[in-house]
C-alpha cells in the first residue's frame, strides 16, 4: 500500500528522512481492527518523529501520522483515538502508553491497524477531513482548556502562537465556550485570522496584555515562557503541552511563580472519553476544525514543508 514514512532520522534536516512509497499492509491480529483511511492530518509530532524524538531508529521504517478518519472493516465511518495503551486503552497516569508512530505504524497510508477499543464512531455532521483534525491537536486543546486549566464561561485566557494546530483549536473552542480570548503571533496575518476566529485582541508576541488572564495555553515554550508567566493573574494557571521553540527558557520566573501562587500544569493529548465529548461538542455546536490546506497523500512532502516553515494557519490534511 502507498504510504508516507520515516526511512531515516535526521535531527537537523528532518525532511531528508521522509519517503513516499510502498509499505506492507497491516496484518490481522487479535483485538485489533484495520481502518481504510479517508483523511489524516499532520502534527508537529510527525516532524519530531523525523528528528528521532519518541522514535527509535530500530523502529524504522515507520509510517508517520497520528490522526485519521475512515471506514472500519464493516464500512462504518470512524475516527481513531491515537493513544495506544499497553492493554489497548487510552490515557492513564499508571498505564504505559504511546502515540501512533512511536511504537506502531501510523495513519499516512491507505490502511492503519489499531486496537478495536481505539475506534470511535464519526459523527455524520463532520466530514472525514474535519474529523481527522480532532484526535491530536484539537483533543490536546480541549483537555488543556476544560480539564487542566479548569476555565469557565466568562474567564479570560491567553493563547500563545496563533496559527499552530493546538493554538488555533484553543481559540475556537474557548470562544465557543464563552471565554475571553487573547492571542499572540509574530505574524500580522495570523493575528488577523485569530481575531476572525473569535479572539477579542491579537497582539505581537511578547506584547503587554490589557489585563492579566486566568489561564495561558502554552505550546511555544522557551520563546514565550516569560511572557506567559507575566500575563497570569495571581493564582492563575499555565497549561503547557509543547515547546516548539525549545524547552529551556532563559528566565523561568520562579519568584513570580511562588509569590503569586501560580499553577503550572503539563498536559498530553487526551482520553478516549474526552475525544468522544469533543466529537459531540463539534457536532452539536457547529464548531469545526480550521483547515489550512487539503492535499492528496502523494503530495505529503508539500504538507511537511509547509508545516516545517510554520506557514500554515490551522491543520494540514492528507486525503487517500
Same domain, 311 and 250: no
- The predicted-structure confidence for 17-26, as pLDDT tens digits, reads as follows 999 999 999 9
Same domain, 126 and 149: no
Same domain, 296 and 257: no
Mean pLDDT (the chain, rounded):
93
Q: Name the residue range of residue 78's domain.
A: 2-133+289-319
Same domain, 95 and 211: no
Q: Average pLDDT of 250-267?
A: 92
CA-to-CA distance for 214 and 125, rounded, in angstroms? 33
Residue whose C-alpha is closest to residue 105's, from 14, 30, 40, 10: 40
Q: Is residue 254 part of a domain?
A: yes
Q: Is residue 261 part of a domain?
A: yes
Query: What's the confidence (pLDDT) of residue 85?
Result: 79
CATH number at residue 244: 3.40.50.720
Same domain, 148 and 167: yes
Q: Is residue 232 part of a domain?
A: yes
Q: Average pLDDT of 36-52?
A: 95
Query: What's the confidence (pLDDT) of residue 273?
Result: 93
Task: Using the predicted structure, report yes or no on whether residue 89 has a pLDDT greater than 80.
Answer: no
Q: Is residue 295 part of a domain?
A: yes
Same domain, 238 and 303: no
Task: Using the predicted structure, report yes or no on whether residue 88 has a pLDDT greater than 60.
Answer: no
The reported pTM is 0.90
CA-to-CA distance for 219 and 239, rounded, in angstroms? 9
Task: Using the predicted structure, report yes or no on whether residue 37 has a pLDDT greater than 90.
Answer: yes
Confidence of residue 110 (pLDDT cuts 50, 70, 90): very high
Same domain, 141 and 114: no
Query: What's the confidence (pLDDT) of residue 93?
Result: 52
Same domain, 217 and 122: no
CA-to-CA distance for 90 and 61, rounded, in angstroms? 25
Q: Average pLDDT of 35-47?
A: 96
Q: Is residue 280 part of a domain?
A: no
CATH number at residue 60: 3.90.180.10
User: Lowest-pLDDT range, 12-21, 73-82, 218-227?
Assistant: 218-227
Q: Is residue 271 part of a domain?
A: no
Confidence of residue 96 (pLDDT cuts 50, 70, 90): low
Task: Using the predicted structure, report yes or no on whether residue 244 has a pLDDT greater than 90.
Answer: no
Q: Average pLDDT of 178-187?
A: 96
Query: What's the confidence (pLDDT) of residue 177?
Result: 94
Same domain, 26 and 123: yes
Confidence of residue 142 (pLDDT cuts 50, 70, 90): very high
Query: What's the confidence (pLDDT) of residue 91?
Result: 47
C-alpha cell at 272: 478516549
DSSP bridge pairs for 40: 318
164: cis peptide before it, omega within 30°?
no
Task: Using CB atoms within 10 Å of the CB of residue 93, give its burial: 0 to 12 exposed, 13 to 18 middle, 19+ buried.
Answer: exposed
C-alpha cell at 73: 472493516
Amino acid at each position: 500500500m502507498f504510504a508516507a514514512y520515516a526511512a531515516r532520522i535526521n535531527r537537523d534536516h528532518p525532511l531528508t528522512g521522509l519517503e513516499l512509497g510502498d509499505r506492507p499492509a497491516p496484518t490481522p491480529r487479535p483485538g485489533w481492527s484495520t481502518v481504510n483511511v479517508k483523511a489524516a492530518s499532520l502534527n508537529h509530532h510527525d516532524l519530531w518523529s523525523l528528528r528521532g524524538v519518541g522514535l527509535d531508529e530500530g523502529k524504522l521504517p515507520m509510517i508517520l501520522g497520528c490522526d485519521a478518519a475512515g471506514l472500519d472493516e464493516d464500512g462504518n465511518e470512524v475516527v481513531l483515538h491515537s493513544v495506544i495503551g499497553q492493554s489497548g486503552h487510552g490515557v492513564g497516569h499508571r498505564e504505559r502508553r504511546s502515540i501512533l508512530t512511536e511504537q506502531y505504524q501510523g495513519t499516512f497510508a491507505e490502511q492503519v491497524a489499531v486496537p478495536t477499543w481505539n475506534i470511535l464512531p464519526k459523527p455524520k455532521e463532520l466530514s472525514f477531513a474535519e474529523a481527522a483534525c480532532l484526535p491530536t491537536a484539537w483533543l490536546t486543546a480541549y483537555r488543556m482548556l476544560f480539564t487542566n486549566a479548569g476555565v469557565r464561561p466568562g474567564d479570560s485566557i491567553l493563547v500563545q502562537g496563533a496559527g499552530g494546530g493546538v493554538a488555533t483549536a484553543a481559540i475556537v473552542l474557548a470562544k465557543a465556550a464563552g471565554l475571553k480570548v487573547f492571542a499572540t503571533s509574530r505574524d500580522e496575518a495570523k493575528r488577523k485570522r485569530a481575531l476572525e476566529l473569535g479572539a477579542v485582541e491579537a497582539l505581537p508576541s511578547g506584547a503587554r496584555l490589557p489585563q492579566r488572564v486566568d489561564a495561558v495555553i502554552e505550546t511555544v515554550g522557551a520563546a514565550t515562557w516569560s511572557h506567559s508567566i507575566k500575563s497570569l493573574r495571581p493564582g492563575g494557571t499555565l497549561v503547557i503541552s509543547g515547546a516548539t521553540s525549545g524547552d529551556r527558557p532563559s528566565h523561568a520566573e520562579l519568584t513570580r511563580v511562588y509569590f503569586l501562587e501560580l499553577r503550572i500544569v503539563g498536559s498530553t493529548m487526551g482520553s478516549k472519553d474526552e475525544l468522544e465529548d469533543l466529537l459531540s461538542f463539534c457536532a452539536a455546536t457547529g464548531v469545526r476544525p480550521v483547515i489550512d490546506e487539503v492535499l492528496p497523500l502523494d503530495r505529503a512532502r508539500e504538507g511537511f514543508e509547509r508545516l516545517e516553515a510554520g506557514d500554515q494557519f490551522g491543520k494540514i490534511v492528507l486525503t487517500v
